[in-house]
Amino acid sequence: MSRRSGILEFAVLGLLRESPMHGYELRKRLNTSLGIFRAFSYGTLYPCLKTLVASGWLIEEPGSAPEEALAASLAGRRAKIVYRLTAEGKEHFEELLSQAGPDAWEDEHFAARFAFFGQTEREVRMRVLEGRRSRLEERLEKMSASLARTRERLDDYTLELQRHGMESVEREVRWLNELIESERAGRDQRRPGPDSPAPRQNSPSDSTTGSTTNSTTGDEDGLPRLRGTSGGSPPEAPGPPDPSEDTTP
């Protein structure tokens, strides 16, 4: 299985875990919720769905009432098929969610993994975020070294392109730092020390004064809401590989 198809299968299983969908709706969700799949077509999606069905992770069901299916057949149209996640498919997806190896840190796979962080255990989220940050810090170091070697031989436009690529990576590293600190803060709030007082029970007056579990955000797990973390996608992955990396010193 190629890395690209593996990411697509992961995303399909994750979306169908939320609710059954037919192919058109599924493709639309992949396009709008996961921008990394904007360029793929039905010719890519349907073979993936067939593979997942053959693996026992999805089942196909008629998506219309019997009379509508008959009308579609008489009109020469294909009746809609709804894809539903099986118990085995759910178990397989949860197994994939628990993985936090190097593949989860790569550009496309990280974006797909991040989109399903709401279904991922906190410790796994931390490993993925820290692994992604480490990978980008290594990339920054290589880009900086390459730029230092080739600066004198680059024209102004190529030099600006190099700088733009580095700034994009630096922005994502700062964003990851914020996410990691938020995860740590949330974990610490959920693990009080032995000498910590018992949590105070809310009184009826709390509801009238507008107090919440977290006065900063109201988020039940204690995580501050950061731009790009409340249901959205992470910052766009850095653009094409740094062209200067292939430049001979």
Please state the three-class secondary structure of 103-118 as a single string.
HHHCHHHHHHHHHCHH
* pLDDT tens column, 133-158: 999 999 999 999 998 888 888 888 99
Mean pLDDT of the chain: 76
Tokens of 86: 């099986």
What average pLDDT does range 70-94 have in this prediction? 78
Query: What pLDDT is stored for residue 223 in this prediction?
Result: 44
Cα–Cα distance between 228 and 107 in angstroms, integer?
16
- Residue 242: other Cβ atoms inside 10 A: 20
The amino acid present at 218, given as its one-letter code, is G
Of the spans 35-44, 98-107, 182-191, which averages the highest pLDDT?
98-107
- Write down the residue that tokens 């299916």 correspond to: 69
**pTM, whole model, 2 decimals?**
0.66
| Helix (H) or strand (E) run with residue 121 in it | none
Q: Is the pLDDT of residue 233 over 50?
A: no
Q: Is the pLDDT of residue 190 over 70?
A: no
Query: What pLDDT is stored for residue 221 in this prediction?
Result: 45
**All residues at 6 or more sequence positions from 117 whose CB lies less than 8 Å from its CB, including other chains:** 125, 229
Q: Is the pLDDT of residue 167 over 50?
A: yes
Cα–Cα distance between 116 and 12 in angstroms, integer?
11
**What count of residues does the chain have?**
249
**Bigger pLDDT: 246 or 42?**
42
- Write down the residue that tokens 């230092």 correspond to: 148
CA distances from 28 to 25, 32, 247 (A): 5, 6, 40
